[in-house]
Structure 1
Amino acid sequence: MKTPLTAHDLPDDIEALKALVVQSQSDILHQASQLAQKDQHIDTLAKEVSRLSELVMFFKVRQFYKSSEKHPDQAELFNEPEVEDNSSLRASSSDESSSASPKAKSNAGRKPLPKNLPRQRVEHCLPAGEKCDCGSEFKEIGEEVSEQLEIIPAKIIVRQLVRKKYACPCCEGSLKLASMPKQPIPKSIAGPGLMAYIATAKYQDGVPLYRQEKAFERLEVELSRQTMANWMIKGAQLCQPLYNLLQDSLLDSGYVHMDETRVQVLNEVGKTAESHSYMWVRKTGDQKHPVVLFDYAPDRTTQTAMNLLPEFKGFLQTDDYAGYHKIGVTEQITHLGCWAHARRKFMDAKKVLPKNKTGKADMALNLIQKLYQIEQHIKDQPPNKRLEIRQTESLRVLEQLKTWLDKSLNSTVPKSKLGEALSYLAKNWEKLQIFTTNGRLNIDNNPVENAIRPFAIGRKNWLFSQSVKGAKASAMLYSLIETAKANGLEPQAYLTDLFRDLPNCDTLEQFEALLPWNHTAS
């Protein structure tokens, strides 16, 4: 540090004095510049510390809290329509329950057993000749019935397919053998019901084939996982014509949800066993004749997405994955955004806040909550009524949200969790508004994400597909099972009918009769 000047240090010459003043000013400006640079550096470091602290908090939340789109200290933010609608009912029901009998309380919440289940009577009677204290013999005057759920373990049978032989008594050597329906896999021991059972266990219940192999061993039946895998591949190939009809229906619907999730295939040409391939999922947006289709692909490119939408015209709803962007700008397709993904970004920003502290994320979440409240109230309304309410109530909320968004963008660190949420919202704003222009559209892409969930759960159990053929077979069978469920059919019963009837279908009308919305269970 320089020693301060005194009066004796100042030169007597006026020019020298001027030079000293100029030098002092230059030194002051240089120091001010250095201080500004240091302040800027400190500010940059502080922002980076804040960002890293957010990341640490975010990963702690992901690791130690429940996987849910709500902060651990937050109330049921997106369940408020039900909370509001049922608050008065809860109050009245609590009053009623306080005066109810103990017996009524004990049975509260127990649902009656399905009436379609077969009943087996087990009667309990008094011993013959039992008498009252007065000496008279008891007489039956009625009965009291309680029900208990029981299960009969799986039972495997061998169905013998007997073909009678016939001979003409007049023509020597004239023989005839009775015909029988075509089987799902010729010359195989696999019956339609067994194939449906294995497929449902794996693709609906997430039970891998090696576990099923062990289960069959307990039933004293030897079925290797390789044999069952081969059955699944051949069964899927049998269903190809039906899949084609389902795809035609989906592409003609004019409204499709789309998403993708990873899948690992061990034996895939040109790829290591550790690399990821993808399962693409498409779902019709409307509830009439819902279709859910899974498709295996080795990549996640735009071209793959385009190949899955040949000549499609209408609404396409996805997340913000870049692979969909090029499709969304074509003239025949209107690309919708997903409010669930936008909401999720603000939930992440909420999670990194200190406990019991509110912030800008809460403002966004409250406004998004209002959009979902509106959707909750109009979900059972016809499209024209939904459109009318969205054009009045939803647009008003969106206007408030857009005003808040424009103000917040300039005052938020871009790399923070909140900054990322704001950036996502701003970038997708136009696509996020489109749902208000048509009453048939959904506010988010959750319908297809819900359809993916059984696949994701199953993947945790079976981990990978052995081959590309296996992955394609999985896609086919997932498609049939999820579409059956979406149309209110029991998957195993539906697959049993398909494996029995498809080998004997020859005409378009016969295949169309097996579509879920045309199918009559046998």
Structure 2
Amino acid sequence: MGALRAELVRKDKALLFKQTLVDKLTHENAVLKRLKFAAQSEAYTSEQKSLLDETFDMDLAAVAREIENAQPKKPDGEKRQPKRAPLPAHLPRHDVHHEPASTTCKCGCTMKRIGEDVSEKLDYTPGIFTVERHVRGKWVCAECETLVQAPMDPHIIDKGIPTTRLLAQVLVAKYLDHLPLYRQEAIFERAGMAIARSTLAQWVGECGVQLQPLVDALTAELLKAPVLHADETPVPMLKPGKGKTHRAYMWSWCTTQFHDIRAVVFNFAETRGGQNARDFLQLGTSASWKGSLVVDDFSGYKQCFDMGVTEAGCMAHARRKFHELWVNHQSKVGEQALKFFQALYDVERDAAGLGIEDRRALRLERAKPVADALKQWLDEHRQKVPGGSATAKALDYSRRRWEALTRYLGDGRLPIDNNWVENQIRPIALGRANWLFAGSLRAGKRAAAIMSLLHSARINGHDPYAYLRDVLERLPLQPASRIDELLPHRWHAPHQD
């Protein structure tokens, strides 16, 4: 009796949690609809309003999918078939046939084909729309009237019209090629198919929800690495109803070039507060990450180093201070410092292809004497320049962070600088000029998630479009226990027939 009561309590708690989640998402859905149709949106420019509308439509579709996922599944008989206009008759069509593996009935008779069901999906290759017709033959046994029909594989957007090729094209164009949906709408119209940007936005929103488990798996894989790069870059984010933006941040986390796994994960946050870094690294929890973090001197990371994370400095940032002195003021101090840094980077070029221990040995043999000489030179010249000057600030930056800056000398796993992650966030700066802003926190997080997959595919040498297309094709059938097989560093392109 006690076990039954405990089971009832557990189920009540589970139902309460699901209902609370549904209520939260329903409220968010109502807020989004109110914001979308509110008169305040007129305060934006026409281009801003276009991008804002896209964001709302994506968020609404994402919330609707999350509500659907959170609610109990309905019996098949209760499913409602969506009504939509037929695809244009002028588009070329090619058939994909689905027939039973065997047309011999269980009673031993040979079945007869009595008809077929046809569903159509919109396909796209750059500049050309076609229609993919899925033809499912109906086979019946004349003796026992058994009806057999081959099923269709589930789709990333249930009952949706786009093929995975079209979805991959939209996502790659938006998040890798920086084309907002209103521009894609015009491109598609020129190709002969007018797809409303609200429809494109719904597709993006639904795909974002479906891809999130894969991004979560990528994040878990990233946090197994003993050394990580971290950096952050500002992205304007709209405050709906206020007609203006505020500064949000895209945080970038990636493995080093010396690690076996190449992965980058972007994390969007409304602020630059250090709590974002601590939350990502799960500091203060049982899963707290313990490793070396390669960062600049941003204060937001400082508390991480009091919670078990080891700080590794960025020599490129230290060098940059002296480079600015030399470029802007033809400073002799800057020129002399750059020679020391050049010698350190010469060693790194020779060490790049070595193993961890050989890299460490080479650094200790050739780079450590240079670093020791640089430290002595910094201390001597600091006594000769007045405090507060640009030269003093450049000297103090390196002297203050010396232990972190030179930690790489004794650890062959550590890179000399943070340039690897800075190269990963350059596409964000390019996209910023085209997105203009992130339309909401949810939109920023969706962009971060999809960009994590696309850029991880890119740095692993894959074609991001081919990768995403295959993932969207396989994801609905992929067991949750094997989702890591679809991660960019484990993915293999399918064999072409």
TM-score (norm 1): 0.67
The reply on whether 1:160 has 2:133 as its aligned counterpart is yes
Q: Alpha-carbon deviation of 1:273? A: 3.3
Q: Normalized per residue, which structure has more strand? A: 2
The reply on whether 1:275 has 2:252 as its aligned counterpart is no
Secondary structure, counterpart of 1:165 in structure 2: strand
C-alpha distance in structure 2 between counterparts of 1:275 and 1:299, whole Å: 9
C-alpha distance in structure 1 between counterparts of 2:265 and 2:469, whole Å: 19
Give % identity: 37
The equivalent of 1:316 in structure 2 is 293
**Which of 302, 310, 314 is the equivalent residue of 1:338?**
314
Deviations 1:332-372 (A, max 9, x none): x211010111111112212221xxx4410111111011111
Does the CA contact (< 8 Å) of 1:254 and 1:314 recur in 2? yes
The equivalent of 1:374 in structure 2 is 347
Deviations 1:77-99 (A, max 9, x none): xxxxxxxxxxxxxxxxxxxxxxx
C-alpha distance in structure 2 between counterparts of 1:229 and 1:280, whole Å: 24
The equivalent of 1:78 in structure 2 is none
**Which of 402, 406, 411 is the equivalent residue of 1:429?**
402
C-alpha distance in structure 2 between counterparts of 1:175 and 1:495, whole Å: 37
Q: Alpha-carbon deviation of 1:230? A: 2.4
Q: Alpha-carbon deviation of 1:194? A: 0.9
Does the CA contact (< 8 Å) of 2:263 and 2:489 recur in 1? no
- Corresponding letter in the other structure for 2:327: K
C-alpha distance in structure 1 between counterparts of 2:387 and 2:341, whole Å: 21
The equivalent of 1:193 in structure 2 is 165
The equivalent of 1:112 in structure 2 is none
Q: Alpha-carbon deviation of 1:404? A: 1.0
Does the CA contact (< 8 Å) of 1:264 and 1:273 recur in 2? no
C-alpha distance in structure 1 between counterparts of 2:477 and 2:278, whole Å: 34
Secondary structure, counterpart of 2:317 in structure 1: helix
Query: Where do 1:38-53 residues align within 5 Å?
Result: none
Query: Where do 1:418-457 residues align within 5 Å?
Result: 418-457=391-430
* 468 and 414 in structure 1: CA distance in 2 versus 1, 3 angstrom threshold: same
The equivalent of 1:224 in structure 2 is 196
The equivalent of 2:361 in structure 1 is 388
**How many residues matched?**
364
**Which of 240, 256, 264 is the equivalent residue of 1:292?**
264
The reply on whether 1:521 has 2:493 as its aligned counterpart is yes
* 153 and 376 in structure 1: CA distance in 2 versus 1, 3 angstrom threshold: same
C-alpha distance in structure 2 between counterparts of 1:372 and 1:386, whole Å: 13
- Higher Cα Rg: structure 1 or 2? 1
* 217 and 435 in structure 1: CA distance in 2 versus 1, 3 angstrom threshold: same
The equivalent of 1:348 in structure 2 is 324
Q: Tell me, which stretches of 5 or more residues in structure 1 are unaligned?
A: 1-151
The equivalent of 1:45 in structure 2 is none
Q: Alpha-carbon deviation of 1:508? A: 1.1
C-alpha distance in structure 1 between counterparts of 2:277 and 2:477, whole Å: 34
Q: Alpha-carbon deviation of 1:167? A: 3.7
Deviations 1:283-306 (A, max 9, x none): 012341211001111111111110
C-alpha distance in structure 2 between counterparts of 1:272 and 1:423, whole Å: 42
* 322 and 153 in structure 1: CA distance in 2 versus 1, 3 angstrom threshold: closer
**Which of 252, 257, 266 is the equivalent residue of 2:229?**
257
Q: Alpha-carbon deviation of 1:268? A: 6.0
The reply on whether 1:459 has 2:432 as its aligned counterpart is yes
| Structure with more contact order per residue of length (Cα contacts < 8 Å, sep ≥ 6) | 1
The equivalent of 2:471 in structure 1 is 498
- Corresponding letter in the other structure for 2:295: T
The equivalent of 1:206 in structure 2 is 178
C-alpha distance in structure 1 between counterparts of 2:157 and 2:348, whole Å: 48
- Corresponding letter in the other structure for 1:194: L
Does the CA contact (< 8 Å) of 2:181 and 2:200 recur in 1? yes
Query: Where do 1:240-251 residues align within 5 Å?
Result: 240-251=212-223
Does the CA contact (< 8 Å) of 2:127 and 2:188 recur in 1? no
* 163 and 305 in structure 1: CA distance in 2 versus 1, 3 angstrom threshold: same
Secondary structure, counterpart of 1:206 in structure 2: coil
The equivalent of 1:146 in structure 2 is none
- Corresponding letter in the other structure for 2:411: N
Deviations 1:423-455 (A, max 9, x none): 211221110010111111100011111111111
C-alpha distance in structure 1 between counterparts of 2:191 and 2:410, whole Å: 58
Secondary structure, counterpart of 2:183 in structure 1: helix
The reply on whether 1:412 has 2:412 as its aligned counterpart is no
* 230 and 346 in structure 1: CA distance in 2 versus 1, 3 angstrom threshold: farther
Does the CA contact (< 8 Å) of 1:329 and 1:335 recur in 2? no
- Corresponding letter in the other structure for 2:349: Q
C-alpha distance in structure 2 between counterparts of 1:166 and 1:427, whole Å: 79
C-alpha distance in structure 2 between counterparts of 1:268 and 1:319, whole Å: 33
